[in-house]
Structure 1
Amino acid sequence: MQSVAQALDRLSGLAASPTVAKLAEAFAAAGYELALVGGPVRDAFLGRGTNDLDFTTDATPDGILEVVKPIAEAHWDIGRDFGTIGAKVHGHTVEITTYRADAYDGTSRKPEVVFGTSLEDDLVRRDFTVNALALRLPQIALVDPSGGVEDLIAGVLRTPSEPEVSFGDDPLRMMRAARFASQLGFEVEEGTLAAMSALAPEIDRISAERVRDELSKLLCTDAPRRGIRLLVDTGIAARVLPEIPALKLEIDEHHHHKDVYEHSLTVLDQAIDYEVSRGRLESPDLVVRLAALLHDIGKPATRRLEPGGAVSFHHHDIVGAKLAKKRLRELRFDNDTIKAVARLIELHLRFFGYTDGAWSDSAVRRYVRDAGDQLERLHILTRADVTTRNRRKADRLGFAYDDLEERIARLAEEEELAAVRPELDGQQIMATLGIRPGPVVGEAYKYLLDVRLDEGPIGTDAARERLLAWWAARGDA
């Protein structure tokens, strides 16, 4: 946390940058107010880097465009209905929004957009006091009507107005509280936390797309565990992602198994660590994080209490993949994300048979083939799924997976494993068998693919001989 003087020094430096200075001069010349607002001001106090430049003004969207057009390399008005104009000024992307005084009718999923005339009124309608800070330009004057600086120093999230009013205006702010708790490492103020629990049903008013976006932002923070706990503890998760609180399985005195909820949060933590340390994926990777959080959601439906105190979860991988597909579709995730997450959940147990006995090269090839373009993510999820406190067991599993990755690398180098295909394509199959296109071509292709996976490269001549033998055995020739 920076001192107020240090933060103002940083903000003064930001105000003197070419982009901000040019905008401040242009709006002042046109007779409009302009202020840097929200994240950039907050982050100056936290000593964090500034990526986005957000401004607010008393100019209408038309007025903003009149000012911006002559000084911008590009501009766009996709958010014009909500008072926001985007522009590229001096090489930096900025967003400039008219003062807002939005109102919700209590039932609609979207606010009635109302433009305001006062910076202070705009700020007190924002989500949290730490985001309700502004720097007037070009005066370099800090505006903090709700005590945001004090809350930044205390590490507290609190709404500028009564939380019941703020969350009633926009229930999505409750999910933002969870996200900022994770992103900033802050605690949610007691009254604000109580309002989240009391108003959890109001999240049903928010569109699936907005819920999805906020959940994705939470998962892409450096440490999302804190925010997920908040969503679960306040009852919000039960309405937007009920599979997570459902992981809190009852454990009786006769049947014992690890706490699936806590295990899933630990797997998420470890997956993020692997994602960063391996450096083979663009981080943050939403697919990895969704798969880690959801990988065991099939357990509640498959739990069986066995004689002798054992507990089984047979086929929870398959059931979990289906549940994940259903939930992610309801949250309007894109098809590629849904497919990837479901595939990872379906495959997350596959490796654990590797330690029971040495896999053949055929088994390794099939592991790679089934993972497809999700192989690196599967490596991360599988390693992260080891949460045992038994150091000897953890080391054994870790060494076994090291061995599997080495074998995959060796086979990949020898056989171009990532592109495993039969040695005959569809045209060659039809020419060899003297047949026309049809389902039997696919059956022949699958047969040759199984040969390739089981035996490795055998050459085109041997593949033709095997194909002809298969064809003769069918009796279709």
Structure 2
Amino acid sequence: MPGRTAYGFPVDFENSEMLRRAVAHLGPSLPLLTDLGERFAAAGHELALVGGPVRDAFLGRTSPDLDFTTSARPEQIEAILKPWASTTWDIGRAFGTIGGYRDNVTVEVTTYRADAYDGVTRKPVVAFGDNLHDDLRRRDFTVNAMALRLPDLTFVDPYDGLDALVKRRLRTPAPPEVSFGDDPLRMMRAARFAAQLGFDLAADAAEAMQAMASSIEIVSAERVRDEFSKLLLAPAPRRGLVMLVDSGLADHFLPELPRLQLEIDEHHRHKDVYEHSLTVLDQAIGLEGGSGPDAVPGPDLVLRLAALLHDIGKPATRRFEGGGGVSFHHHEVVGAKLARARLRALRYDKETVKAVTRLVELHLRFHGYGDGAWTDSAVRRYVADAGELLSRLHLLTRADCTTRNQRKARRLSQTYDELERRIAALQEAEELAAVRPELDGHQIAEVLGIRPGPVLGRAYAYLLSVRLDEGPIGPEAAADRLLAWWADQPECR
């Protein structure tokens, strides 16, 4: 029987140096891991660190939370955690999970599982397991099916997860048809890991995804949305998005994306809208961060959704013109409607839907700026229409330039630089970010002698348009303009 290292690993194990580095990376958590392991062992139970924290330790990453699996049942887990943690909570007792918090560390401890699914609702029928190997087999990918037994830190890898990690390959512990059949969301998780970690998908898993893509439709919209958002917020979403499209998964929850792959013929040429959209997303991500008042900290979900979806109105608006031209008139308006419907179907919150939809609607507005001939009124309206989305609109507009013509790209960039300078100058002079009519609602009501209601709202909107068109004109002049406008309204006759 081979000897063992100080960490409990076989000395002849070829990846022992990797294991030592992984445990060293867990160094700050080792006292906590040992303490918990000893507490569970003293109570007669097994405990192991599993999943993401183990995988990330090999990658030199730090997981925000620590996940454990144990032979103890939920009530036993709770009894062990209560004296140790400053607080505990029931994450999902029916599923065997109890949470705890101590010294700025969150832990989740789950009873060994052997889930089964009903094949219709995707709700797991919980069956508690009795050993670590079976628990690891039910996990999504072998890179997440590695464990460290506690407190002795023995490495457990029955499905060669470390080998897959070294090869940057996503494999399933069980046959992929079984794994994806148990929970189709794992197919989306594969795309997310591709985006987050830069991994490739094993050939058998890729084939299973294509064959089983339609089964994603039985997963709740909320779960699909959350997984898709995690993918978009990854460092390199393109890799995962391509996997979603190539596998056919996107056809079932985001069909607008694969539809961007418009057929191009030799007589009617236009830019590849699908590749363009992915490039715009890449470029928008590259513009996140920075400094200054207009910076957009990354990762920003609203900006990334808008970049990906900004041209989804093009397939419905494509028209072939004479001379081989192609037009997409009003695709921004159509695209905004499509984006709103799709994001609502995915159960995104109202603010996200509103913001993304507005950015899609506004993404072409800059191109009316042309050679910089916009009036101050037009610049004010650009700012007012964007509102709090102005910083994101700046980045989306810049990212939307994917031309290979360097001269054209420089010209567009310089033109937008000029627009931003004009915006900054007007903002400084007129406080555009907080632009309001020069009479408030009470003053408008007093001047016109009316009560609050729809008519007052129309009057307010009129004065706002005066403010945007002409800039500050003073309260007295605003009152005169208001009375002149009122004289032409049916209500005053």
Output the TM-score relative to the length of structure 2: 0.94
The match for 1:454 among 455, 469, 474 is 469
Offset of residue 214 of structure 1: 0.7
**Would the aligned equivalents of 2:137 and 2:173 in 1 still touch at CA under 8 Å?**
yes
Question: For 1:431, what is the secondary structure of its paired residue?
Answer: helix
- 1:393 maps to 2:405: no
Question: For 2:148, what is the secondary structure of its paired residue?
Answer: strand
Partner of 1:248: 261
The match for 2:235 among 222, 236, 243 is 222
Partner of 1:295: 310
Partner of 1:74: 87
Q: Distance in 2 between matches of 1:471 and 1:170?
A: 63
**Would the aligned equivalents of 1:84 and 1:98 in 2 still touch at CA under 8 Å?**
yes
Q: Distance in 2 between matches of 1:400 and 1:209?
A: 41
Offset of residue 87 of structure 1: 1.2
- 1:330 maps to 2:345: yes
Partner of 1:419: 434
| 1:104-162 Cα deviation digits (max 9, x unpaired) | 12222211111111111101111111110100110111100000111111111110111
Q: For residues 272-283 of structure 1, what are the structure 2 equivalents within 5 Å? A: 272-277=285-290, 280-283=295-298
**Would the aligned equivalents of 2:372 and 2:418 in 1 still touch at CA under 8 Å?**
no
- With 64-73 and 6-15 compared, the bigger mean Cα shift is at 6-15
Q: Distance in 2 between matches of 1:249 and 1:458?
A: 50
Q: Distance in 2 between matches of 1:50 and 1:208?
A: 27
| 1:205-229 Cα deviation digits (max 9, x unpaired) | 1111111111111111000101111
**Would the aligned equivalents of 1:4 and 1:45 in 2 still touch at CA under 8 Å?**
no
Partner of 1:366: 381
Partner of 2:61: 48
**Would the aligned equivalents of 2:306 and 2:359 in 1 still touch at CA under 8 Å?**
yes
Offset of residue 397 of structure 1: 0.8
The match for 2:135 among 104, 107, 122 is 122
- 1:436 maps to 2:451: yes
- 1:23 maps to 2:19: no
Q: Distance in 2 between matches of 1:440 and 1:66?
A: 65
| 1:453-473 Cα deviation digits (max 9, x unpaired) | 011111111111211222234
Pair 1:59–1:80, CA change in 2 (3 A): same
Q: Distance in 2 between matches of 1:367 and 1:74?
A: 50
5+ residue gaps, structure 1: none
Question: For 1:388, what is the secondary structure of its paired residue?
Answer: coil
**Would the aligned equivalents of 1:267 and 1:384 in 2 still touch at CA under 8 Å?**
yes
The match for 1:196 among 200, 203, 209 is 209
How high is the sequence identity, in percent, across the aligned residues?
Answer: 66
Offset of residue 78 of structure 1: 2.9
| 1:230-272 Cα deviation digits (max 9, x unpaired) | 1101111101110000000011111000000000000110111
Offset of residue 278 of structure 1: 5.4
Question: For 2:149, what is the secondary structure of its paired residue?
Answer: strand
Offset of residue 13 of structure 1: 5.7
Q: Distance in 2 between matches of 1:414 and 1:259?
A: 42
Question: For 1:199, what is the secondary structure of its paired residue?
Answer: helix
Which residue identity lines up with residue 144 of structure 1 in the other structure?
D
Which residue identity lines up with residue 306 of structure 1 in the other structure?
E
| 1:47-68 Cα deviation digits (max 9, x unpaired) | 2233221111111111111011
Partner of 2:421: 406
Pair 1:346–1:13, CA change in 2 (3 A): closer
Partner of 2:11: none
Partner of 2:23: 11
Question: For 2:100, what is the secondary structure of its paired residue?
Answer: strand
The match for 1:182 among 195, 215, 229 is 195
Offset of residue 186 of structure 1: 1.0
**Would the aligned equivalents of 1:19 and 1:92 in 2 still touch at CA under 8 Å?**
no
**Would the aligned equivalents of 1:85 and 1:97 in 2 still touch at CA under 8 Å?**
yes
Output the TM-score relative to the length of structure 1: 0.97
Q: Distance in 1 between matches of 2:395 and 2:71?
A: 49
Pair 1:249–1:264, CA change in 2 (3 A): same
- How many pairs are equivalent? 476
Q: Distance in 2 between matches of 1:3 and 1:27?
A: 29
**Would the aligned equivalents of 1:328 and 1:338 in 2 still touch at CA under 8 Å?**
yes
The structure 1 segments of at least 4 consecutive aligned residues displaced by more than 4 Å after TM superposition are none
Question: For 2:288, what is the secondary structure of its paired residue?
Answer: helix
Partner of 2:9: none
- 1:136 maps to 2:149: yes
**Would the aligned equivalents of 2:259 and 2:315 in 1 still touch at CA under 8 Å?**
yes
Question: For 1:69, what is the secondary structure of its paired residue?
Answer: helix
- With 71-80 and 199-208 compared, the bigger mean Cα shift is at 71-80
**Would the aligned equivalents of 1:276 and 1:283 in 2 still touch at CA under 8 Å?**
yes
- With 18-27 and 314-323 compared, the bigger mean Cα shift is at 18-27
Q: Distance in 2 between matches of 1:89 and 1:29?
A: 20
**Would the aligned equivalents of 1:208 and 1:330 in 2 still touch at CA under 8 Å?**
yes
The match for 2:75 among 59, 62, 66 is 62
Q: Distance in 1 between matches of 2:418 and 2:69?
A: 56
Which residue identity lines up with residue 419 of structure 2 in the other structure?
L
Which residue identity lines up with residue 74 of structure 2 in the other structure?
P
Which residue identity lines up with residue 361 of structure 1 in the other structure?
D
Q: Distance in 1 between matches of 2:187 and 2:59?
A: 22
Q: Distance in 2 between matches of 1:379 and 1:419?
A: 18
The match for 1:37 among 29, 50, 63 is 50
Question: For 2:419, what is the secondary structure of its paired residue?
Answer: helix
Which residue identity lines up with residue 435 of structure 1 in the other structure?
I
Offset of residue 277 of structure 1: 4.0
- 1:309 maps to 2:324: yes
**Would the aligned equivalents of 1:411 and 1:417 in 2 still touch at CA under 8 Å?**
yes
Q: Distance in 1 between matches of 2:212 and 2:25?
A: 41
**Would the aligned equivalents of 1:304 and 1:311 in 2 still touch at CA under 8 Å?**
yes
